[in-house]
Structure 1
Amino acid sequence: MEDIRVVVAIDFGTTNSGFAFAHKERPEESETNSTWPGNKGIFKTPTALQYDSKYNKVTAWGVKALVEFQEDAESSDDDDNNQLSRPIELFKLHLFNLKDEDKPWLPPELDYKKAIKDYLTEIRKLIQERLSSRWSSVKFPSQVKIILTIPAEWVLRFFFFFFDFVNHKFGIYSLSYFINQPPHTTGIMRECAYKAGLLNKLSSNNLEFTTEPEAAALHCLSVVKEHNLKSGDSFCVVDCGGGTVDITIRKLLAKNGLGEITERIGYPCGSTFVDKEFLKFIGEKVGMHALSNFKKNHYKQIQYLVQRFFCHRIKFDFNGKQSEWKTIKLNLLNYCSNLQEYVTGDRKTEMENAGWIIKIDFTSVKEMFDPVVNKILELISEQLNASKEKCSAMFLVGGFAESAYLLNKVKETFRFQVKDICVPTLPITAVVKGGLYYGLNINTVKTRVLKWTFGIEVARKWISGKDKKKRRSPDDLIYTFECLAKRGSQVDVNKPFSKIFFPVRADQKAVAFKIYYTPSVDGKFCDEPGMEYIKTLHIDIPDVNLGRD
């Protein structure tokens, strides 16, 4: 029997991660961790790793894996030209359906699943240390419930309902029970969490997933009263992180319950993509090829340029008001001392004549932000248009939510559609606090909207004149997709979906249910584009005397 004493929520982010915890007996005394190796007083630490020469052992993680001081950035050529000095970052993005050329850099020796496992291992060590200092009698991990927040795009929330012929009883099995292999991201994360020591066994019930927008929405329940929201009102939550933006529209239900009324969406367009636009701007001055080679061989200096110059002097303060902007002069050699070795031709002459100084004006900065901000505005508009109910409020959370420019653009664009648009206190902690709330109040979420259509492959007799000849099997059958749960449906949490099926042949000794999911709402065949195979559920039929009955 489950004996959970403590709940821990982990926000494993693309660029930064954090965790929060609380004892079930005193949930009001929850704590969000703010002490990390190499840094104190911050609620998140970089999702970054440093390895030894063979990529077997982690030598540093979090902020210690990144450059913090200028003398580190200007280390010796022997060290800086060595790829081993480059930290492993953004590896979470390998779980998204990105083209190979769009996936972040990883050395050939390192698999992204190992990086995830290693990072979770370091987080687990710190969690154990924190919990043991608070409650020494709590056994880890057997008495600890782990809540892992994940992007909206990762979740396959679906339950398979069938009759157990052997034990003569019905059962409900979550597909997460069957999914343990790629490409299913929740399965990968469960496996990594197990290998990291967060679970005693792979199938442990001590791990629960909730989406980042759902966690953010749960956190917003703590502020809805401040905005005069009442039961029946709907509100939009825009979670703007470093790597992804997740958006959902929720309904406030009776007794502080939470429902979902639109299909949640997520997209990789977080604040790190503004950093990429800044580097693109630099590349246009010195040459993209030169910048690419420099980044490859002197990654620490590039990192220092982005973090210490762009983020601290421009990105964090930019509000989009031209009257308040003063052109900033960037002396490239102060941040990237080796860059001049890679710039050639006319670009080099131009940069030498300018003393390697680049002037950054208002228009240039706005053009760095706009591609990312405009995509976020597009996603918000899509969600608002998908909702049949008027939104009473919109909450921006996540690290990028603190961007004054983003908030101003959202208010300007949607001021006639949403009356109250705001950023709650400490928006960077919204997801992890919401994840903790979910773990402590697991029945708060009442409804969800399915993001996928789920079903199985079934066989029936091929019908001449109705079915295509190419789909006729040698035994005169046709195999089709049978929908069990349709995308866009608003359903109660953990609702089972059931249908009655019969064996194809009277002497059949087993049934194989091939389970698929698709973004389409009207899939017909399992080989259609977008149709994804999940797993096959095998069921024995012990009594063939019953025939097709």
Structure 2
Amino acid sequence: MDFFENVLIIFTIPAEYTEQSKGILRKCIHDAGLTEAAAIHCLSVLDEHFLTDDGTSFLIVDCGGGTVDLTTRKLLPNKRLGEVTERTGDYCGSTFVDDEFIKFMKLKVGESAMNSLETHRYGQFQYMVQEFCRRVKLPFTGNKEDFKIFDLDIEELCPMLKQYVTGAERERLEKDEWIIELKFEDVKAMFNPVIQKIIRLISGQLSTGGVCTIMFLVGGFSESKYLQSRIKKTFNYIRTIAVPKQPQAAIVRGALEYGLKMDVIETRVLKYTYGIETENVFNETTDPEHLSIDGRYIFKFYRLVEKGREVGVDETFGAIFRPLEHTTHLRFSLYTSTNLNEVYCEGLEKLGELIVDMPDTHLGKERPVEFKLIFGQMEITATARNQLTGQEYKANFRLEF
């Protein structure tokens, strides 16, 4: 996904998408690494806070609708950026406050009633949620003095819901003239589990990222005054906690800036361990039997570079490999792992493969091939060079942020 697609995807979420489709889209946005774009935009904001010294570290907390993503960056010479820690994130964006509101409504009108409304009258279901966001969620500050009890009038906001309400819930609502009160503690309880997950994510980043001078809150959810106040209160030891102007646009601006000047990013911290599959002699004492090939050989994971390592753009990792005596090709299958000390490739994600022709079988194993991984701006380049013939092979893979 190039950076133009990254920008466009923010604006193309049809309202009629199913929750499954939204979940897939959330994952795509999360995997696109948009915290990098936000970091680039915040780089231009550092001057406003007089933080322009090389080595200054800052944390980006991108609070979106579906996900919250974090990255800790450091300022390098010539206004370049390095990455301090492995990126983290979770599904705890603002839409999960909406989910808490829906849970609240299920307690008031009955779970089956809300499920029927969502299935058969999705437009009214969405309108009710949107009105909650506009009139309750967005203005909520977390200060009781600012809060006015919100009367949710079902007959006004969602009249079709009435036909699905039965039993004790219907009797109670008829008595209350189909009005449900949203009190301060009710709304606060909708925010708290979501905000607590965000606070845990921030704590995790700070515990591994060393001294952090400034924290930037970007993304639409960061406009929440309650979220801002909870974060500032919890992390009051950080010198500056800032919300850039129009935080929802920070990613788009950063993506545009990145597209114009892609050499801003100088280092990244790898989220995965990268390695290839190599054939080894099977050891019946230590190796699992079900992975053996005729009880003689076994494929194992050969680590080229481990997760958590800071790598520079275009930094290279590789080694020399040799084929088996009678094979006419050497296959390099590239895998990623979330572990540091992976042994086998079973269950790992395969990124792809590169096949090198080795026709000179009379040379046996003495046919060295140099294999390298090059970590570029947006992708990984795998190269293989037959050292006897000089023939080179190349393949590109998406860099997982």
The answer, yes or no, to whether TM exceeds 0.5 is yes
Gapped regions of structure 2 (runs ≥ 5): 367-401
What are the superposed Cα offsets for residues 11-51 of structure 1, whole Å, 9 maximum, x if unpaired?
Answer: 255xxx24xxxxxxxxxxxxxxxxxxxxxxxxxxx610xxx
Q: How does 1:18-37 map to 2 (within 5 A)?
A: 18=11
- Tell me if the contact between 2:26 and 2:67 (Cα under 8 Å) persists in the aligned partners: no
Match 2:257 to one of 437, 440, 463? 437
Q: Which of residues 342, 347, 362 is equivalent to 2:184?
A: 362
Q: Within the alignment, does 1:94 sit opposite 2:27 as a pair?
A: no
Instruction: Show the counterpart of 1:228.
Output: 50
2:330 aligned with 1:511: yes
**What is the RMSD computed on CA atoms of the aligned residues?**
2.0
Q: Is the 8 A contact 1:47 1:89 kept in 2?
A: no
> Contact between 2:6 and 2:29, CA under 8 Å: does it hold in 1?
no
Cα distance, 1:362 vs structure 2? 0.5
Rounded to whole Å, the distance in 2 between the matches of 1:96 and 1:88 is 12
1:396 to 193, 199, 217: 217
Q: Which aligned pairs between 1:120-269 and structure 2 lie closer than 5 A?
A: 151-152=29-30, 154=31, 211-229=33-51, 230-269=53-92
Query: 1:462: Cα distance to partner?
Result: 2.7
Structure 2 residue aligned with 1:409: 230
Are the counterparts in 2 of residues 47 and 90 from structure 1 also a CA contact under 8 Å? no
> Displacement, 1:306?
1.4
Amino acid at match of 1:349: E
- Match for residue 535 of structure 1? 352
Letter in 1 for 2:356: I
1:299 & 1:92 partners in 2: Cα distance?
15
Over residues 336-380 of structure 1, what are the superposed CA-to-partner deviations in whole Å (9 max), with x where a residue is unaligned? 111110011111111101100011110000011111111111111
Q: How far apart are residue 318 of structure 1 and its match? A: 0.4
The aligned amino acid for 1:443 is D
Which of residues 304, 325, 329 is equivalent to 2:127? 304
1:282 to 100, 105, 120: 105
Q: How far is the alpha carbon of 1:543 from its aligned partner?
A: 2.0
1:147 corresponding residue in structure 2: none
TM-fit CA distance, 1:219: 0.4
Structure 1 unaligned blocks of 5 or more? 1-6, 19-45, 49-65, 67-85, 98-149, 155-209
Q: 1:457–1:481: 8 Å Cα contact kept in structure 2?
A: yes
TM-superposed CA distance for 1:535, in Å, is: 2.2
- SS of corresponding position for 2:326: coil
1:448 aligns with 2:268: yes
Query: Once the 2 structures are TM-superposed, how far is the Cα of residue 546 of structure 1 from its aligned partner?
Result: 2.0
Structure 1 contact 248–263 (Cα < 8 Å) conserved: yes
What CA distance in whole angstroms lies between the structure 1 residues aligned with 2:20 and 2:132?
Answer: 19
For residue 317 of structure 1, give the secondary structure of its aligned residue in structure 2: coil
| SS of alignment partner, residue 11 of structure 1 | helix
Contact 1:452 1:519 in 2 (8 A): yes
1:547 aligns with 2:370: no
Map of 2:319 onto structure 1: 499
* CA pair 469-336 structure 1, distance change in 2 beyond 3 A: closer
**Counterparts in 2 of 1:469 and 1:328: CA distance versus 1, 3 Å:** closer
TM-score (structure 1 length as normaliser): 0.63
Q: 2: distance between equivalents of 1:463 and 1:244?
A: 44
CA distance in 2, matches of 1:93, 1:469: 38
In 2: Cα distance, 1:89 partner to 1:285 partner:
23
Alpha-carbon shift at residue 473 of structure 1 (Å):
2.6
Q: 2:21 corresponds to which letter in structure 1?
A: F
Q: In structure 1, what is the equivalent of residue 155 of structure 2?
A: 333
Counterpart position of 1:126 = none
1:419-473 Cα deviation digits (max 9, x unpaired): 1001000101111110111111111100000000111111122346554555543
Q: Is the 8 A contact 1:454 1:515 kept in 2?
A: yes
Aligned residue pairs total 363
CA distance in 1, matches of 2:17, 2:61: 30
2:391 maps to what in 1?
Answer: none
Paired amino acid for 1:513: F
For residues 314-351 of structure 1, give each alpha carbon's deviation from its aligned partner in whole angstroms, at most 9, with x where no partner exists: 11110101122121111111011111100111111111
In the alignment, the residues of structure 1 paired with residue 200 and residue 85 of structure 2 have an alpha-carbon distance, to the nearest angstrom, of 16
Give, in angstroms, the shift of residue 252 of structure 1.
Answer: 0.7
Measure, in 1, the Cα distance between the counterparts of 2:289 and 2:67: 45
How many percent of aligned residue pairs carry the same amino acid? 41
Residue number in structure 2 paired with 1:11: 7
> Is 2:347 the counterpart of 1:347?
no
Between the aligned partners of 1:352 and 1:221, the Cα distance in structure 2 is 56
Superposed CA offset, 1:40-70 (max 9, x none): xxxxxx610xxxxxxxxxxxxxxxxx5xxxx
